[in-house]
Amino acid sequence: MTAMKRMMVGFALAATACAGATGMAQVAGAQDAPPAAERPVYDLGPPYLGGQPIPGTEALVPPPPEQGSARQRQDAEANARALTLADTPRRALALEDASLAPGWFDAAFSCAAGVSLTDANTPAIARLVRRAAADFAISTSAVKARYSRPRPFVANGAPTCTPRDEAALAQNGSYPSGHSALGWGTGLVLASVFPDRASELVARGRAFGDSRAICNLHWQSDVEEARVIASATLARLSSDPQFIADLAAAQAEARELATAARPGAGQCRQLADALQAG
């Protein structure tokens, strides 16, 4: 069972067991899944769009670069540069960005938002992010299945940020990156919640996707084309009544956060330094 299929099973279980809930950590599993201690944990909620990518995603992006093409050479050059970042703060941040376990959006986006994005501090925003992130994560699955592009670590044999995931990821297409779509889409959603922090949030969403290339888990074109699919998915979400309602609730909550808890200055300075290092 591929990583994406396990994730889809987790979403289905969440929709069945947690309908109407604020959101919780979703543990993917099925009859042929690994033991509970080995299963990946995804802190995502039930997707707004029924657990399917929007129709026609295959038409949104070109086929992956062919071997020997100029674009594939650019991917290889970008990959070589990424591999030089081993043992740097930027690579350490890429490892943090690889996790979608509980607290992922707080760790990734609170500094950009200027507010601690936790269930206690921002419950409406947390609900919106969890549910929309599930849609963004799923958004690339149809294109992945169509092309089944091998991931860079399969081609170059170099280590990744998440060696325990490599066996599963080797069976899951590289193009486009679902994780990058999730990061880009989350940045866009949060920019709508905190419009005065839009530049910081979109930049962080972009960096979240770039972390996949730095981790040797995706080619640069996988990351870039994922943004196109995530943007189209957000356009579709923007006509969904429940998303509209949750976005309005999140925006109202954000307007009341003048005295809310802020992320630590040291944490944000360390994150900024890591991004500059990349």
Percent of all residues in the chain with a pLDDT value above 70, rounded to a whole number = 82
Residue 228 lies in a domain: yes
Could you report the per-residue pLDDT of 24-79, keeping only the tens digit for each? 333 333 334 444 445 557 899 999 999 999 999 999 999 999 999 999 999 999 99
Residue 51 in any domain: the answer is: no
Residue 107 lies in a domain: yes
Q: How confident is residue 202, by pLDDT bands cut at 50, 70 and 90?
A: very high
Q: Quick check: is 198 in a domain?
A: yes
Q: Using CA atoms, how far apart are residues 177 and 23, in angstroms rounded to an integer?
A: 24
Is the pLDDT at 11 greater than 50? The verdict is no
Count Cα atoms within 13 angstroms, Cβ side, for 85. 26
| Domain-embedded: residue 24 | no
Q: Are 1 and 34 contacting, i.e. CB atoms less than 8 angstroms apart?
A: no
Q: What pTM was computed for the model?
A: 0.84
Q: For 61, how many CA atoms within 13 A lie in the half-sphere containing its CB? A: 29
CATH of the domain at 76: 1.20.144.10
Is residue 23 assigned to a domain?
Answer: no
The dihedral over CA atoms of 181, 183, 185, 187, expressed in degrees to the nearest 10, equals: -160
Q: Residue 277's pLDDT is what?
A: 67
Residue 90, in any domain of the structure: yes
Q: Is residue 182 part of a domain?
A: yes
- Rg (C-alpha) for the chain, rounded Å, is 18
Q: Which residues are catalytic?
A: 179, 212, 218, 222
Whether residue 264 has pLDDT greater than 90: no
Domain that holds residue 197: 67-277
Per the structure, how many domains does the chain have? 1
